[in-house]
Amino acid sequence: MAPILEIDNLTVSFDGFKALNELNFSMEEGELRTIIGPNGAGKTTFLDVITGKVQPTEGEVRFKGRNLKSLSEDKIARFGVGRKFQTPRVYLNLTPRENLEIACNRNKNVFASLFKPVSSGEKLTVKGLLETIGLVAKSEIKAGLLSHGEKQWLEIGMLVAQSPDLLLVDEPVAGLTDEETVLTGDLLLSLAQSHSIVVIEHDMEFVRQIATTVTVLHQGSRLCEGSMDDVQNDPRVIEVYLGEKPTISDRQMKMLRIVSSMAWADGSIAPEEAEVILSRLSGLFAEDAEQQQHLREELRNYLAQDVSIEN
Ligand code: ADP
Ligand code: MG
């Protein structure tokens, strides 16, 4: 099968700073590709350059074999690239069904699509979409009353309604509950059966749920690529994620590392015990749940390397 998206030697400079730096990337039609990378790695810029929001400084982006150079955002969208932003952009005063009907008719304006009778084909499409995104029971309430997660699903549905050839999804589970996160993963997996999708995400558990091939970006380049297991065990990836700014002071981090290395020292610790130790330590040093999780991950990565107390 031909690649749907090919990126050759792509550099994007902002006043000399290279947000993307000689990046090479390729994905096949029908693939679900997950892109991860620490803050500032260039993930959002990557999407911006595919959608035409940002122009390459050097290199080339080819979509369905065509160079996107100097095509407007609008043209690229009509050519089949659909992007889901982090914040949902749905019409809050309309119902999910009405939102989807408008999305099916994106060439017409909102009012025209509202007052025009909906064709039976469209009705079927909308019905199918409501089922896919799990909003059948809420199809007739105002979208403003939906939860954050439900709004995200509605927007994904609206994107799909426009039948793009490539779906770009930026951090779909930021701010969602655990349950909504799992459901979002299920939704993307079901869409992946018939779509090419790029998902950018920070939440590792979520990435593990959906990922087949993961691309790791770092400083604007591709650091590595492979299955979730491959990339998670890649020392370069561990290094890069360790290099992220710690949520606690250097002194505290040093102390924590010594204590956790000591706990690990005899090497006979069971994984469950290890998790308990990490949780307790993180709980002592970080205030809120998110920081604690971040710290837990930092320590886990640190201890995954062969460490001794001396360093
Ligand atoms: P990510 O999404 O992986 O966190 P971004 O693509 O947003 O990373 O940013 C990559 C780098 O490029 C960051 O250091 C960011 O500050 C910089 N950057 C992004 N957009 C601009 C811009 N318009 N002007 C200047 N610098 C930018
Ligand atoms: Mg970003």
**Do 52 and 29 lie in a common domain?**
yes
What number is the average pLDDT over the span 127-132?
Answer: 95
Q: What is the pLDDT of residues 45-92, one digit of tens each?
A: 999 999 999 999 999 999 999 999 989 999 999 999 999 876 667 999
Q: Quick one: which atom of ligand 1 is closest to the CA of 39?
A: 4
Does position 176 have pLDDT exceeding 50, yes or no?
yes
**Do 189 and 59 lie in a common domain?**
yes
Nearest CA to ligand 1 atom 15: 40
Ligand 1 centroid – CA 14 distance (Å): 8
CATH number for the domain that contains residue 15: 3.40.50.300
**Do 112 and 189 lie in a common domain?**
yes
Using the 3D structure, point to which of 241, 276, 294 is the last residue of a domain.
241
Q: What is the pLDDT of residues 135-170, one digit of tens each?
A: 999 999 999 999 989 999 999 999 999 889 999 999
Using the 3D structure, point to which of 241, 274, 295 is the last residue of a domain.
241
Backbone torsions φ then ψ of 218, nearest 5 degrees: -150, 125
Instruction: Tell me whether residue 310 is in a domain.
Output: no
Ligand 2 centroid – CA 1 distance (Å): 30
**Do 277 and 132 lie in a common domain?**
no
**Do 118 and 209 lie in a common domain?**
yes
**Do 293 and 182 lie in a common domain?**
no
Mutation probe of ligand 1 site: the residue of 11, 12, 14 with most atoms within 8 A of C-beta? 14
Mutation probe of ligand 1 site: the residue of 12, 13, 17 with most atoms within 8 A of C-beta? 17
Nearest CA to ligand 1 atom 22: 14
Structural domain including 263 reads: 250-304
| Contact (Cβ atoms closer than 8 angstroms) between residue 191 and residue 82 | no
Ligand 1 centroid – CA 11 distance (Å): 13
Instruction: Tell me whether residue 309 is in a domain.
Output: no
Q: Quick one: which atom of ligand 1 is closest to the CA of 220?
A: 10
**Do 268 and 156 lie in a common domain?**
no
Backbone torsions φ then ψ of 62, nearest 5 degrees: -115, 130
Instruction: Tell me whether residue 17 is in a domain.
Output: yes
Ligand 1: which residues within 6 Å by Cβ?
14, 17, 19, 37, 39-45
Dihedral over Cα of 41, 247, 211, 44: its sign: negative
Report the Cα–Cα distance between both ends of the chain, in Å, rounded: 49
Q: Which ligand is nearest to the CA of 38?
A: 1
3-class SS shares of the chain: helix, strand, coil, % to 5: 45, 20, 35
Ligand 1 centroid – CA 10 distance (Å): 15
**Do 270 and 230 lie in a common domain?**
no
Kindly report which listed range (100-104, 169-173, 215-219, 273-277) carries the lowest average pLDDT score: 273-277
**Do 133 and 234 lie in a common domain?**
yes
Using the 3D structure, point to which of 241, 276, 293 is the last residue of a domain.
241
Nearest CA to ligand 1 atom 24: 14
Task: Fill in the DSSP letter of residue 167.
Answer: E
**Do 48 and 162 lie in a common domain?**
yes
Q: How many domains does the chain have?
A: 2
Q: What is the pLDDT of residues 91-119, one digit of tens each?
A: 999 999 999 998 887 655 556 656 667 77
Q: Quick one: which atom of ligand 1 is closest to the CA of 42?
A: 6
SS3 148: helix
* 85-94, 119-128, 175-184, range with greatest mean pLDDT: 175-184
